[in-house]
Structure 1
Amino acid sequence: MNLNEKTIHTESIYKGAIIDLEVHDVELPDGTTSKRELVFHNGAVAVCPVTADNKVILVKQFRKPAEKPLLEIPAGKLEKGEARISAAKRELEEETGYIADDLDLIAEMYGSPGFSNEKISIYLANELKSGQMNLDDDEFIELEYYDLNEIEKMLKNQYFEDAKTIIALQHLILNYNDYN
């Protein structure tokens, strides 16, 4: 069966600095039509940094859609034309003050493919060196450090609510010996 949906008409609702919103009229595989509300995003990167003494560095920051602070791996948006690995290295240093020469790709994922095309590349970073934190003017974060036992307990207790963080930390716990 052909599952593709053909776009018949597109209406641009909003063009912003981070996202664009559109409504598409689509023809479904059975010939009927429907509407799709879509969010277009340039993409994002995230990094799971692990220090030499096996501490995972997480950032705590207020997330307006959730209306509370969340504990996450460092992450940020991809600038137009920017290579994903370069963006990951940039975001790691900006948010944590650490530099990693080599990053291992853990996964690439769509967080909400039912309405958004945002693709997130998730990396693991170890062999960290000191760099320079450089937060955006509207970015306020706290760094927190957790050992792997704490991370494992937090995962089991469903402490984390952010999908990219859960994926990265589960990967780290399951594959830790492969990185040492």
Structure 2
Amino acid sequence: MATPASSTSKTDFPWWLAVAAALAVAAAIFIAASDLYAQVFATVAKGIGITVFVTVVAFALASAIGLGIALMGLSESRWLRQIARFYVEIIRGVPMLVLLFWIAFAGAPAFVAGWNALTAPLQSAGLFGELMIRDVSLLWRAIMALTIGYSAFISEVFRAGIQAVEKGQ
């Protein structure tokens, strides 16, 4: 059986990495040389930070809620199983963009109205101020929509993982 002549031949060189590095250097030069590119880069960098924050928080919340829903779905109680199944099937069937818009523009106002109705005695006693719709930021509305949407998907991952382990292990 013949062995290759060399494990580091010229065809193995990662040319794509060299091109990516050259593009990164060119972009850095353009950003450093132009105020417009510097402003655009600052805006994009801020957006990336917000995206990472929303992703991490929504994933953590969706994982916790998803685990709870998965455990409900594996429960001995028929009611808990049916509630979990209903949640998973309905939420997984709703497109994420629809869920984002619904939570942002219908769910948040409904939450504010419900919160104000529940805390009305405390508001009249002066312990709480009235919650306004604008007090619930769009960032947290997006986090809640992503949490609700992805918790249904993550619950199925947890449920399948738990069911894959045989009893007694």
TM-score by length of 1: 0.24
Q: Larger C-alpha radius of gyration, 1 or 2?
A: 2
Q: Where is the helix percentage greater, Structure 1 or Structure 2?
A: 2
Greater RCO (CA < 8 Å, at least 6 residues apart): 2
Structure with the higher strand share, 1 or 2: 1
